Each structure stands twice: as structure tokens, then as C-alpha cells.
């Protein structure tokens, strides 16, 4: 599920219904048969993490769009007829950071590509360098975003909103100091190669317009107290290509080189070192880089990112940030640093979307609960047809989930596999030292439902896990620990969950064993039936009642 895209569509629809001021933006409506659409562009991370503030230099003040037609899959762009042949102002941003343009008339028989450019220029500079978004003039130390859209062609079955998420085209560089810096100090960072023009169609800088040795200067107004991890001195923006560059740092008349500093579009590079003594002693500066710096950890309370990329999570917002990031990077690890209570959703709604819905983006990393608890998890997925497996994490593929405790949870799914913590274990995955308390409900016939996991494929394991509460289904396989397992193992697990299914196989530990499985030193205390049904009597079972 693309959460941002849904947000953009809602915003665009709201503008289409509510905005009359832009009804006549397109003066060339063309002949009969043209279709009206709404263009909507979200800049950076404005929609998710912060409201637009006119005094914040990191916020956009303007956004332009230009349209092209193409008949060779986007290789050749031809200016579209009408007003959109030239960059068109999309108006002021909403409080959430979205620009919208309603009643744009397009030919339903043409294939289009849209180019977007946004920056924080003053409105008096509306015409500055924006005659063609394939050749945009960029001014030093200005923050800017851009996007070339995917190829778009009108489809009657689709909404007529066209949305775009713009990315930073500049690098952000932050200088931090580990020592105190005196007031009135003049600090300069010189970048050897920057550019002054950008081609949105190619999504790259224009190489034949180069600035050499550009100084980015800052005068310290108030004395700065350095810290071990570094206190910010200043930040700046530069239009650069993807490359390592040899920067020069200067404090007054004293300077020194810093070699091989990684810079690139949409990257935030931080330099940390002894700013006060630049050029006076042998100062070493370290550089670290964060990709997609519009959504860095500094904007999400309770999130830290370790050197190896692991998300260190101590708040609901940080947990959601990991869940969003792992959709594009299924191997992204997560470690809880505190107990987390998820917000209570409206009746019938959810406060969580299963991580890794489907079989193409299953979780492949390590989730370490570190002994912490996630409380108030509510999953109610009657309409999520894309969710093949339902659980806090939908499916594991060569992954590990450990030391996680989920309390006061309610998990309901219409997928065929529903688990309190994991939907399905695949490809040598493990769940270790975890527990679940609450209810798990499978509403689909022939579903596999378990307190820890719905199902386990071959060569997977669950070790030292515990479940309690109620586990139920409608004509399925229901187990206190796992609904169905094959050629996998349970070791040292314990369940006090009430397991019910009026029409099928129920077991306090496992509902259904398909093919050979190994169950060792597992306990239960509800009924005398540990396994609902065993298809293969060769399974190795050691149950303690």
C-alpha cells in the first residue's frame, strides 16, 4: 500500500471540489473531447511531518509544472499544446505542503509526461529561469525539488487526478562542531564543483554550466558550545552531481582540506569535527550521509538510525516510519528502545497495516523487540485484498523476529493466514522469545489461524514463545501457537489461549500438522488436545500438558 499516494489523492480531490479560484487557469480548453484533470504535487516531506511555515527557509514557496506529449515511451518529449507548453504556476501550497492545479484539460488520445520544479524563491521572482523545465536556472544556496512523472494516459476507469511526489535535487551539507566556537567567527565551507542549471526531464544537472570553488559562508552570531556528537554550526544547499568532493573548511584565515566527502542530490551530508581549531591543529572531520534527507530521523520523535541503518524505535511514529521504509527495503532492521502503545483507532478501523503485504516484499531483516512491549495493536482487514497474510508482520522470508511482546491486541483478517505476531514464516525464518496476548480471528473459510503465527512453511522455527487470549476461526485450522505447520519446528513454547473453531481442527499448540514437523518441550493448560490434526504420523512430538 502506498500511503503517500492515498494522501495526495485525497488532497487533490479536496482541491478539485473546493477551489473555484483556479477554475479558469487553463484558458485554452481546446476542442470538445478534452478531459479535465487535477494536477497535485507534494514537496519533500510536507504532507507527513510538518506544516508549511512561510518563515521556514526549508519550505517551498512556489511550484511549476510543464506538460509534454510522447509517442515513443518517453524517449522523445514534445511540448504539449496550450498553457502547459510553458511552466505554469501551481499556486500557493496548502498547509500540508501540497500544490494543486484544477481543471487542466488534456487530450484523452495523447500520452503525457509532466515535469515539476519547486523551490523557495520569492514570489517576485516568478519568471526567473522558468521558461523551460528542461533548463532551469538554479541560484546558489537555494533549496529545490523536482520530478519527472511516469508516462500518463487517460483511462476511463481511473480517477482524473495526477499526483507527484517531488524529491530534493540539491545536497544539504551540515557542519557540526565538537568544540566551543567563539561569537563572530567566520566559518566557510568551499565546494569545488557545483552547478547552476538543472534538467528535470533527465533528472540531472546540466554539466556544461559549472561553478568552481564556491564558498558557503556563515558568521557565528552567538558562541556555540560543542558536544561529543557535534553541535550544528550551519547548513547550506548545493546543486551537485553524485560524487565525492574535496572540501575546504575555513575559520577566519585558517583553513584545511577535508577529502572525499560524499555529496549528491537528495542526500544530507554531515561533517563533524573541531571547528574552532581548523587549520591550527591536525583536525579530523568525519562525514556521514543520510539518503532522502527530507524525512530524516530528526523530524520523527523517538527514532534514531544506527550506523548500520537499523531503526532504533521508541514511539508509535517511529515504528510507523520503519513500517513505511521497510516496504521499499524489506531487509531494514528494527530494534525497540521502549514500550510502545499504539493509538486507539475508530470503531471498525485499524491502527496498523501489516508489514510486507503480499509475497514480493516480505520482511527479510531482523526485528528485535529487546524485551519491550507493543500494546493496543488493532488490525481489522476485511477489505485489504492485497494482504495475503495478516499479522503485525505479514510474512517473514529468511527473517528473525525476537524478544517482542504484543499485549492487549486484536487481529482480525480475511486472508487465509492470520497470526497474532506473524502471518506466515517462509524460507528459514525464526520467531524467538516472543509473546502475544489478545484475540486473533480468521474470518475466511479454510483459514489458518495462530496466536504467534498463522502458518509455517518448511525449514522454519518458533522457539520459546507464549500466547494467551482467544484464537478463533470459521472452518479452518486453529492453534494457540500456530495454525498450520509443515516440515518445521516448535521448541519450548507455551499457550494458555482459548482456541475455538466449530467446524475444523483446533489444538492448544497447533491446529494442523501437514507433513513432518518437530514439536519439542511445548506446554499447554487449556484442554487435553495439543494438536488438532496430524496428517503425517512420522512427526516428532514432545508435548507437556
In the chain the domains, ranked by start, together with CATH numbers, are 3-167 (2.60.40), 171-295 (2.60.40), 300-544 (2.160.20.110)
**532-537 long-range contacts, Cβ below 8 Å, gap at least 24?**
532/477, 532/478, 532/479, 532/504, 532/505, 532/506, 532/507, 533/477, 533/505, 533/507
Report the distance separating Cα 313 and Cα 324, nearest Å.
Answer: 13
Beta strands in 92-209 (DSSP E): 98-106, 111-119, 136-137, 144-148, 152-153, 161-168, 171-177, 186-195, 197-199, 204-205
What's the pLDDT score for residue 221? Answer: 87
Mean pLDDT per 10-residue segment, the chain (545 residues): 36 35 37 82 52 53 92 90 88 81 89 92 63 91 91 76 88 92 93 95 91 94 86 93 92 91 89 90 78 50 83 88 82 94 84 72 92 94 63 94 97 89 95 97 88 94 97 89 93 94 82 87 81 72 65
Three-state DSSP class for residue 334: strand
Of 301, 310, 313, 351, give the one whose Cα is nearest residue 329: 310
What's the pLDDT score for residue 344? Answer: 86
What's the pLDDT score for residue 190? Answer: 96
Check if the beta carbon of residue 138 is closer than 8 Å to that of residue 211. no
Of 473, 460, 359, 364, give the one whose Cα is nearest residue 416: 473
- Helix/strand/coil (H/E/C) assignment for every residue in 15-70: HHHHCCCCCCCCCCCCCCCCEEEEEEEEECCHHHHCCCCCCCCCCCCEEEEEEEEC
Report the distance separating Cα 517 and Cα 103, nearest Å.
Answer: 62
**211-215 long-range contacts, Cβ below 8 Å, gap at least 24?**
211/140, 214/140, 214/190, 214/238, 215/188, 215/189, 215/190, 215/250
What's the pLDDT score for residue 216? Answer: 95
Of 220, 238, 236, give the one whose Cα is nearest residue 275: 220
Report the distance separating Cα 163 and Cα 180, nearest Å.
Answer: 47
Could you tell me which residues are beta bridge partners of residue 473?
442
What's the pLDDT score for residue 537? Answer: 62
What's the pLDDT score for residue 33? Answer: 80
Amino acid at each position: 500500500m502506498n500511503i503517500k499516494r492515498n494522501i495526495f489523492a485525497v488532497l487533490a480531490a479536496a482541491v478539485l471540489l473546493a477551489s473555484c479560484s483556479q477554475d479558469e487557469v487553463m484558458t485554452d480548453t481546446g476542442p470538445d473531447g478534452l478531459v479535465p484533470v487535477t494536477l497535485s504535487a507534494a514537496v519533500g516531506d510536507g504532507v507527513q511531518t510538518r506544516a508549511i511555515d512561510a518563515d521556514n527557509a526549508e519550505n517551498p514557496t512556489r511550484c511549476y509544472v510543464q506538460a509534454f506529449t510522447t509517442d515513443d515511451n518517453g524517449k522523445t518529449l514534445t511540448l504539449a499544446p496550450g498553457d502547459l507548453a510553458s511552466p505554469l504556476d501551481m499556486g500557493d501550497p496548502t498547509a500540508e505542503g501540497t500544490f494543486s492545479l484544477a481543471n487542466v484539460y488534456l487530450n484523452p488520445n495523447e500520452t503525457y509526461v509532466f515535469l515539476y520544479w519547486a523551490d523557495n524563491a520569492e514570489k517576485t521572482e516568478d519568471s526567473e529561469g522558468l521558461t523551460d523545465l528542461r533548463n532551469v536556472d538554479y541560484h546558489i544556496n537555494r533549496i529545490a525539488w523536482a520530478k519527472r512523472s511516469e508516462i500518463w494516459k487517460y483511462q476511463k476507469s481511473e480517477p482524473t487526478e495526477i499526483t507527484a511526489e517531488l524529491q530534493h535535487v540539491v545536497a544539504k551539507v551540515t557542519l557540526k562542531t565538537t568544540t566551543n566556537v567563539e561569537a563572530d567567527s567566520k566559518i566557510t565551507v568551499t565546494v569545488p564543483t557545483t552547478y547552476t542549471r538543472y534538467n528535470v526531464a533527465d533528472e540531472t544537472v546540466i554539466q556544461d554550466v559549472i561553478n568552481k570553488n564556491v564558498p558557503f559562508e556563515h558568521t557565528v552570531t552567538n558562541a556555540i558550545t560543542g558536544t561529543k556528537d557535534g553541535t550544528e554550526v550551519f547548513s547550506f544547499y548545493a546543486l551537485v552531481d553524485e560524487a565525492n568532493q574535496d572540501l575546504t573548511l575555513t575559520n577566519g584565515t585558517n583553513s584545511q582540506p577535508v577529502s572525499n566527502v560524499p555529496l549528491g542530490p537528495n542526500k544530507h551530508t554531515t561533517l563533524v569535527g573541531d571547528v574552532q581549531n581548523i587549520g591550527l591543529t591536525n583536525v579530523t572531520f568525519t562525514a556521514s550521509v543520510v539518503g532522502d534527507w527530507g524525512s530524516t530521523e530528526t523530524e520523527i520523535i523517538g527514532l534514531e538510525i544506527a550506523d548500520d541503518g537499523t531503526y532504533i524505535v521508541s514511539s508509535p511514529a517511529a515504528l510507523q516510519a520503519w513500517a513505511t521504509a521497510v516496504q521499499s527495503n524489506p531487509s531494514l532492521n528494527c530494534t525497540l528502545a521502549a514500550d510502545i502503545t499504539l493509538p486507539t483507532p475508530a470503531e471498525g478501523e485499524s491502527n496498523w497495516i501489516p508489514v510486507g503485504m503480499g509475497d514480493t516484499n516480505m520482511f527479510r531483516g531482523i526485528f528485535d523487540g529487546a524485551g519491550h512491549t507493543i500494546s493496543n495493536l488493532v488490525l481489522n482487514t476485511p477489505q485489504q485484498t492485497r494482504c495475503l497474510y495478516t499479522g503485525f508482520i505479514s510474512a517473514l522470508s529468511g527473517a528473525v523476529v525476537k524478544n517482542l511482546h504484543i499485549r492487549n491486541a486484536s487481529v482480525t483478517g480475511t486472508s487465509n493466514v492470520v497470526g497474532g505476531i506473524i502471518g506466515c514464516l517462509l524460507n528459514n525464518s525464526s520467531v524467538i522469545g516472543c509473546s502475544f496476548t489478545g484475540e486473533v480471528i480468521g474470518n475466511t473459510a479454510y483459514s489458518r489461524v495462530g496466536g504467534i503465527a498463522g502458518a509455517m512453511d518448511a525449514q522454519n522455527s518458533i522457539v520459546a514463545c507464549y500466547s494467551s487470549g482467544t484464537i478463533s476461526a470459521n472452518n479452518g485450522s486453529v492453534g494457540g501457537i500456530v495454525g498450520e505447520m509443515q516440515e518445521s519446528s516448535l521448541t519450548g513454547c507455551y499457550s494458555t489461549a482459548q482456541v475455538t473453531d466449530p467446524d475444523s481442527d483446533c489444538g492448544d499448540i497447533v491446529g494442523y500438522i501437514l507433513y513432518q514437523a518437530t514439536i519439542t518441550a511445548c506446554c499447554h493448560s487449556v484442554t487435553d488436545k495439543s494438536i488438532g490434526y496430524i496428517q503425517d504420523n512420522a512427526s516428532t512430538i514432545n508435548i507437556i500438558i
